[in-house]
Structure formats: C-alpha cells, structure tokens
Copies of this chain bind each other. A is one copy, B any other.
Amino acid sequence: MKIGFIGLGIMGAPMAAHLAQAGHVLFVNSRSGLPKSLAAHAVTVCDKARQVAELAEVIILMLPDTPDVGEVLFGSDGVADANLSGKVVVDMSSISPIETKQFASRIEQLGGHYLDAPVSGGEVGAKAASLSIMVGGPQAVFEQLLPVLQLMGKNITRIGENGDGQTAKVANQMIVALTIEAVAEALLFAARAGADPAKVRQALLGGFASSKILEVHGERMVKRSFEPGFRIALHQKDLNLALSSAQKMALALPATALAQQLFNSCAAQGGAGWDHSAMVRALEQLSDFSIPAQ
C-alpha cells in the first residue's frame, strides 16, 4: 500500500520503519529529515505535506501537539490541499479530543476518512512494534486500517467515534499522573513516619492498592532513579490537553489540576526532563523532607 508518514521523530521514525519493512511504499515528510532507519528502504521524501497526501492512499501523522496537526492538515500546502477522495488520514499524535472532532469533520467534508489513533508505550513500544493504540473513527475505516496498525502495535482497541481515541489517551495519562501522586504521597508518608518505604511498597503489592505505577514508579521513588523514562514536560502537555478540554466542557478536575501544579514545582527545580515519577520531589519540596536513598 502507498502510505504517507508525516513526522519522523523519536516515535515516528521506528513506526515508519516497521511499515517499510513490511513492504509498504512510503512517502514521508518531516522537519527532522530522513532518519537512518529509513535510508535502506524505498522511501520518497516530500517537501510538503500536500505532496504526501497526493501520492499516498493512507496519510499517517505523528506530531508533537494539536497546533502541529492543524498546520499539517489545513495550513498552506497542507494535506487538505490535496484531493482526499477515498483517502484515510490517521492521526497517531496525542492531541486535543475536541479539536480532533473538528479536524475529522473537515477531512470528511473533503471526501476523506479520519481515524484518531494515539498510542502509549513510548519509544520502547515504537521500536518493538508493541504500542497500545486507542482508535476513534468509523468501524469500517478502522477495519480497513487494522492490518497497518498491527505492524506498529499490539493492543489495538476501537473506543468509538472520532475523538474517542484521543479521549481514551488523555484519560490514560490522567490516571497515570494521579496514581503517581497517590503512590508518592503514600510512600513519602511512610518514610516520614519512620517506616521503610520499600517494605511498605512490597507489602501493598497484590492488595487493593496495587497498580502498575506502584510496581514500576514506586520502585523508582524508593531507589531515587529519575532518569526518563517519560519526561515530566511531556506529561505536562498531556495534562494540558485534559485541563484545556475540561475547561471547554465546563468540567472540574481538581486532582488533575493539582498534579499539574506539582509538575510545575518539579520544573521549578530544574526537573522538566526528569521521569514523571519524580513528582514525589514536588511533595518532598513542600515539606522539606525526602525519601532516603536506599
């Protein structure tokens, strides 16, 4: 199949490489140029997003944020300037669910189809083709694209209509941030009360307090291992999507707002590049007490 891929960054490059390795013909466009992983394959580099959309049947986007997707789709020489009749735009970026619905509607008015298909699993998942993919869009289009998505991910779920994939991704990032907050407050409490937070973590695994976050990020907090992982700056972008969408919908999210403020405190400490488990450092800063290094 002729597949367009716009955005060949840390995530996009390995994802596109999986498509090329499977024999698909790629037309790419990226600010960062052609990555080495694609150099060995039959890949056509296009100057403009419009060219990609003219040459490919499926146009995949993997971009940093909502304005980038808006610009690539509807900016000058953008995807929407091509004839999109029967073509499918697949936005795998993590962006606003609300604006995604508008983007999808405009693409459909131009004769195209649209899937929002944000991923989780990070660079490791992108390289291993083991990403979780949360999809919003028409069932028939989802089924048509499933073989392509399966080249990049494993746990692929159609949540519902356009925007619902992005909504699920935002919900995922909210739960991850707030569960980090939960584990951070509890382990800090344990340490401050004189208990060994590593033993408390161990005792709580398996019970009702158990979570992937207690297992992985709880261990990071105890071992003081805050190399990313997943950077706080990226998680702040995801919580901004939650909070700005919530404001547009008049929905109060008090704990999500608090988590964002704690990330701000990490950034104030020079920690925008720390792993998100370092949220515990914002709590430690608040009380001038830290979990002792093990």
Contact = CB atoms under 8 A, between A and B. Distances in A.
A186 B245 CA distance: 12
Given A134-B203, A252-B287, 9 more contacts: A157-B199, A159-B195, A164-B196, A168-B199, A171-B187, A174-B186, A174-B189, A178-B185, A211-B214
Contacts of A283: 252-254
20 contacts: A97-B193, A134-B203, A136-B195, A155-B206, A159-B195, A159-B200, A159-B203, A164-B196, A167-B190, A167-B194, A167-B195, A170-B193, A171-B186, A171-B200, A175-B186, A193-B245, A207-B212, A208-B212, A252-B286, A253-B283
A141 interface: no
A167 B182 contact: no
A209 interface: yes
Nearest to A157: B203
Contacts of A246: 189, 192
A246 B190 CA distance: 10
Interface of A: 97-98, 120-121, 132, 134, 136, 155, 157, 159-161, 163-164, 167-168, 170-172, 174-179, 181-183, 185-190, 192-196, 199-200, 202-204, 206-214, 216, 242, 245-246, 249-256, 258-259, 262, 283, 286-287, 289
